[in-house]
Amino acid sequence: MTRKQQRLILILSAMAFLSLAVGLILYALRDTIVFFYTPTEMAEKNVQPGTRLRLGGLVEKGSFRQGENGIIHFAVTDTNKSVKVTYKGVLPDLFREGQGVVAEGVLQPDGTFKADTVLAKHDEKYMPREVADSLKKQGLWKHAKDYGEYGADGAKAGKELTQ
Amino acid sequence: MIVELGHFALVLALATAIYLTVVPIYGAQVGSARLMNVAAPAAGVLFLLTLLSFLSLVNAYVVSDFSVLNVWANSHTDKPLLYKITGVWGNHEGSMLLWVLILTLYGLAVALFSGNLPASLRARVLGVLGAVCVGFLLYIVTVSNPFERIPLDRAPVQGRGLNPILQDPALAAHPPLLYAGYVGFSVTFAFAIAALMEGKVDAAWARWVRPWTLAAWMFLTAGIAMGSWWAYYELGWGGWWFWDPVENASFMPWLAGVALLHSAIVVEKRNSLKVWTVLLAIVSFSLSLIGTFLVRSGVLSSVHAFAVDPERGVFILSLLVFFIGGSLFLYAIRANTLRTGGTFAPISREGALVVNNLLMSAATAAVFIGTLFPLVYEAVTGGGKITVGAPYFNLTFGILIMPLLLLIPVGPMLSWKRADLLPALQRLWVAAVAALIVAFFVVLWVDHRAFKAALGIGVGVWIVVGAIAEMLQRAMLFKAPLKVVLKRLATMPGQMLGMTLAHLGVGLVVMGAIISSTWKQELITSARPGETLKLAGFEITFLDESKVRGPDYVAEQARFQVKKDGRVLGIVTSEKRTFAGRAGMPTTEVGLMYFPTGDLYVAIGDKDSKGRVVRIYFNPFVYFLWLGAAFMVVGGITSLLDRRFRVGVPDRQKIPASAQPAQ
């Protein structure tokens, strides 16, 4: 084989392989992506029962309830609409009423949402970005990053410690 | 005052970095030895200034100077000294300063060890490193200043404390290791760019690039393993890898680094694949930059993101465009000046390394697309949000990596230039038999349904036994007297031994991943003290609950007695901690008990109507993952110690080893 032929074989087999890989990636993407909706979007898009999706918003105040067999009930709201969620499992450390949450699961025929994963925000600064965005859209976002608030917060912490 | 000094040193460092970029590269262009020679001292000064700046920030943390915004937001007077110091890089601004400190340290190391490089190559490499420094220092000085003060009249008396989940020994070491990996690829990158400027890539170049790549890859391996271990015991979810965007961000440069390590071998030994290797060097560093971008800009929804800050995002994005775009442009116009070297048949050691590179690249691309697809989708659809989760990554990455895993033992059996597949496979019969026996054993005796898992474990055994078999055959086992074999084993070159260890590590990771995810047992329930829970043959009795105090936290502690076959094995405790200044952020402290067959993992949750929520997992052989990573790191070190890496010593007789710089 000449040098040219050898290189041609190399390049052709690489191309063939790469197109296979691309095909695999596209196939996997089509079947595994999960859409993210807020309760309002879920109502607007008329999501069919059985669809797998991520639901994001705030945990509605007063909605948390511990049911039978370890099943937990709560509602996710974007203050406009809210969706009832059931979940069996352990909630993350930072799950609180009134705080941001993302639940992944399947919409049931009765309109409730059966979650198999619940994510809460990771620290008090961080909120799932989807939730932050939708809160910003509705004007419910609070900006905490200016000196005034830092100073006040710090002073409060100091007072608590000296007491 | 010290804080201002640190800030000032940082600005001086920026000026030095600009000098380091401009003067030596210009000097190399016009051929002025005087201008080129300033590179090494400038790299030294740059490191000292950055170190001064970093130490002044550390000092502000140690003395708890809360008039510094960054210290106030991330520290607390009650914090143990260790966490005061690690708090420096437990936040955005400080971690970027650490990034630059490590970068300048690499610059200094290159300056020290590059005395025998051609002067123009050395000047250009250091100049390119200087340019990377300029980008990041500019970023810190303009939009990410860690020395920002709170106006004195408002300065608080107490800090807000470090993010509690970061308050952990493993996480103290995780960012520095990870950064040492990310930043290490900047050296390889600098060599690639310098080579493009020079228009020359040869075996000596590859011998230079390989140890730096190896060092970077090793640090990245250790950093990722440390992060995964931390996620395993600190987040309390019992998992060790979540395909989270930030995990992917560190995984992509790692994969590209593996490809680069292997292709650099071909450049060094066979003077071939040069153009491709230069591209890989650029890609590895680009992925490191993208990793930093993904983590630091908060652009992706991720559990790790520090803050959502568009100003910084735009800055890092511009840096990214400049470095990646610029280097790819240079590559496009200059790559044809690199002459191609030796040819090889499709079935040969080179061929195997090409296949490695193809599969590695495809796997990297699959991770890359999956990680960034939600961003692209959102941009294209104007706000539509999707997630690409574990199923996508398991499917694509799994399918692409499987053939590579199968080929790992085969590659080293092939000879350079032209090889026969059949004899190579015949030499691997032991590994094949071992793999089949283990796979059959698993299906017949352990779990009838776990067919896929049995195959996966078989692949792991195939890699481990294959690696050992290759080493023993290299030592002429059964072909030479035992004395000769032992001598050959003892004098085996570090590179070969390193390869064996690293491949062995891959096999262990494969087995650990498959076994722990297939046969993991879990029990999530509520219990009161006195109740006994059963899992995986263990009897776990909830003994009692109490409140305990740490230096800067209070915790609810639950104790559990572990029994098996009526024998008491010990007590595990799990805690729920609430830290001073971060009351809204409790953390879980997992209780772990280690056995040869796996880990017993106990975590407590909140209280509910039926007592306390308790999560118990049995994770079989999960420690293989970290053992495997340790093998890879030790393999890397072994390989680095190989004297053949020391440039300019092709032959021991010519130059005494003591005259050589330590690698």
Taking an 8 Å cut-off on Cβ atoms, the answer to whether A6 and B66 are in contact is no
Contact with chain B for residue A123, Cβ under 8 A: yes
User: Which helix (H) or strand (E) element contains residue B194?
Assistant: helix B169-198
Task: Look at A96 and B661; give whichever has higher pLDDT.
Answer: A96
**Hey, is B518 helix, strand or coil?**
helix
- Cα B423 to Cα B341, B348, B410, B429, B637: the distances in Å are 27, 12, 10, 10, 31
User: In angstroms, rounded to a whole number, what is the distance separating the alpha carbons of residues B602 and B538?
Assistant: 12
Question: What pLDDT sits at residue B306?
Answer: 38
Site from A40, A73, A122 to mutate, B interface, most B CB atoms within 10 angstroms = A122
CA atoms within 13 A on the CB side of B622: 27
Q: Which fold has domain A35-143?
A: OB fold (Dihydrolipoamide Acetyltransferase, E2P) (2.40.50)
Tens of pLDDT, residue by residue over B356-371, are 999 999 999 999 999 8
How high is the ipTM of this complex?
0.73
Q: Which residues of A touch B613 (CB under 8 A)?
A: 90
Domain spans, chain B: 1-167, 173-413, 414-519+623-638, 525-620
Question: What pLDDT sits at residue B242?
Answer: 82
For residues B99, B101, B106, B111, the Cα torsion angle rounded to the nearest 10 degrees is 150
Provide mean pLDDT across the span B265-284: 89
Question: What pLDDT sits at residue B296?
Answer: 66
Question: What pLDDT sits at residue A137?
Answer: 60
pLDDT for residue B644 is more than 80: no
Contact with chain B for residue A21, Cβ under 8 A: yes
Q: Which of B154, B165, B392 sits opposite A28 (nearest CB)?
A: B392
Tens of pLDDT, residue by residue over A121-157, are 544 444 555 556 665 665 554 443 333 333 333 333 3
Q: Which amino acid is at B54?
A: F
Question: What pLDDT sits at residue B506?
Answer: 96
Q: Which residues of A touch B66 (CB under 8 A)?
A: 154
Residue of chain A minimizing CA distance to B298? A129
- The alpha carbon of residue A144 is apart from the nearest alpha carbon of chain B, in Å, by 12
Question: What pLDDT sits at residue A151?
Answer: 35
Question: Where do we find the tokens 């500019």?
Answer: B138
Contact with chain B for residue A6, Cβ under 8 A: yes
Question: What pLDDT sits at residue B120?
Answer: 92
Considering chain B, what percentage of its residues have pLDDT values greater than 70?
Answer: 93
Provide mean pLDDT across the span B336-345: 75
- The alpha carbon of residue B224 is apart from the nearest alpha carbon of chain A, in Å, by 20
Give the length of chain B: 663
Residue of chain B minimizing CA distance to A16? B358
Q: Quick one: chain A helix, strand, coil %, rounded to 5?
A: 40, 30, 35
Q: Which residues of A touch B308 (CB under 8 A)?
A: 126, 129, 132
Q: Which of B150, B345, B362 sits opposite A21 (nearest CB)?
A: B362
B149 — pLDDT class (breaks 50, 70, 90): confident
Pairing of strands A33-37, A52-59: parallel
Pairing of strands A113-120, A82-88: parallel
* Alpha-helical segments (H) within B271-307: 274-297
Task: Mark which residues 36-55 of A lie under 8 Å from B by CB.
Answer: 36-37, 54
Site from B158, B235, B312 to mutate, A interface, most A CB atoms within 10 angstroms = B158
Contact with chain B for residue A125, Cβ under 8 A: yes
Q: In this structure, how many other beta carbons lie within 10 angstroms of the beta carbon of residue B99?
A: 24
Identify which of A151, A156, A131 has the alpha carbon closest to the alpha carbon of residue A141. Answer: A131
Residue of chain B minimizing CA distance to A28? B392
Provide mean pLDDT across the span B331-359: 83
Task: Look at B59 and B204; give whichever has higher pLDDT.
Answer: B59
Q: Do the Cβ atoms of A125 and A154 come closer than 8 Å?
A: no
User: In angstroms, rounded to a whole number, what is the distance separating the alpha carbons of residues B439 and B246?
Assistant: 34
Site from B152, B357, B392 to mutate, A interface, most A CB atoms within 10 angstroms = B392
**Hey, is B238 helix, strand or coil?**
coil
pLDDT for residue B474 is more than 90: no
